[in-house]
Structure 1
Amino acid sequence: MRRSARSARSARSGGRSRHDRLGDTAIAAATVVALGSGVWLLGDGARTHTPPQPAAAEGSPDPGGARPAAHALVPSVPTRIRIPAIRVNAPLMGLALTRSGSLDVPPPQAKNLAGWYEAGTIPGETGTAIVAGHVDNTEGPAVFYDLGALKRGARIEVDRRDGSVAVFTVDAVEAYAASNFPDEKVYGAAHRPELRVITCGGGYSRTTGYQGNVVVFAHLTGSR
C-alpha cells in the first residue's frame, strides 16, 4: 500500500520536536500501491488460499472493553515491532516519501521487515503513528500476512532505541476497498498515542491484485 502525500520533509532522529515533523494528516488519498503482489498465489493452480480478512466483529471498537490510554512517551526511534498473537517479530526501517509524494514501502524481497513513517508521529508519542509492511512477495507470505486475523484486545509491542518498549492494545481491525479508503479515519490527528498497522487485503483478484488494505487501530496502554 502506498498513499500520496501533500508535502515532505527529511527524516530526523527521535529527538525532534513535534513541530519539526509532518502533521498526522500529511498522507492523503490518491493512489494505492500493493504491499504485496499475490504473484505466489498464481504460481500453483491448487493454491487458492488468500490472507485472512478481519471478521466484522473486530471492526467496531468496544468502548466498554477498551483499556485506558497510557501517558505519552518521550520520542525515541522505533526499532522493532512484535505482535505475539500472529507471531510477528520484525525489525523496523524508516519510510520516507518518494519523489512523487507517495509513502515509500519496505523492499519486497525482505519478507520479515516492516517500516514506519519517520516524518510523522513516533510510536509512543501523542498522535497517529503509521507502520506498514508487505502481506506477501513473489515467494510467499510476508511479515503482515496474518494481520487480518488479529483480534480486538491483542497486544502490539514496539521496541525503541532508548531501550523502552511501547505497548499498544488493538481497538479494531478493518478492511477497506482501495476506492473507499477512509484517509481521515486512518491517518487523522489523535489526541493520545495511537498506532495504525497497514498491509494489503480486502480480497484478491487475479486480474487486478489486492482490492484494498487491512488496517489495525491501536492505542498506547503501557510501556516498560
Structure 2
Amino acid sequence: MGTCRNYLHVDSYKGPAVFFDLDQLQTGDEVLIYGQGSILTFEVKEVVAYPTKKAPINQIFGSSDSPSLNLITCTGLYNREAETHQERLVVYTELVAQKDA
C-alpha cells in the first residue's frame, strides 16, 4: 500500500490559506476526499507538530501497511530570516470507508 501526501500552505502574505485550520483536527475526526466517482473517508489517527529540521521524513513520507493520507503544513512561529515556520504540522489519517458518489 502507499501513502498519499499533500503539502499545502497554512497562510501567505495575503492571509489564511487552505490549511489554516488544519491544527483544529483531532484524533477521531474525519477527512473526506471527493473524486473520480467515489468518496473516501479517512480517520485522523494523530496530529503532531515537529521542529522543521527534526521531522521524521521516513515516517511522514514512507509507505504504510494500509491506505492513508498524511496532511502536512507549516506551523509555529515564522522565521523571517529562514523564510519558513519553525515547525511542520502533520495530520496522520487512515482510510476507513469508501463509497460511490
Report how many residues are paired.
Answer: 98
The answer to whether the Cα contact below 8 Å between 1:176 and 1:202 also exists between their aligned partners in 2 is no
Which stretches in structure 2 are left out of the alignment for 5+ residues?
none
Specify the structure having the higher radius of gyration (Cα): 1
CA distance in 2, matches of 1:134, 1:205: 15
Partner of 1:223: 98
State how 1:85-124 maps to structure 2 within 5 Å: none
Instruction: Give the corresponding residue for 2:23.
Output: 148
Q: Output aligned runs, 1:1-224, within 5 Å.
A: 126-161=1-36, 163-208=37-82, 209-224=84-99
Q: Aligned partner of 1:187: which letter?
A: F
Q: TM-score, normalised by structure 2?
A: 0.88
Matched-pair contact (CA < 8 Å) for 1:199–1:213: yes
Scaled by the length of structure 1, what TM-score is found? 0.42
Question: CA offset at residue 203 of structure 1?
Answer: 2.9
Q: Percent identity?
A: 36
SS at match of 1:211: strand
Aligned partner of 2:73: which letter?
T
Q: Is the 8 A contact 1:128 1:194 kept in 2?
A: yes
For the residues of structure 2 that align with 1:127 and 1:223, how far apart are their CA atoms? Answer: 16
User: RCO greater where, 1 or 2, for CA within 8 Å and sep 6 or more?
Assistant: 2
Structure 1 unaligned segments of length 5 or more: list them. 1-125
Q: Which has the higher strand share?
A: 2
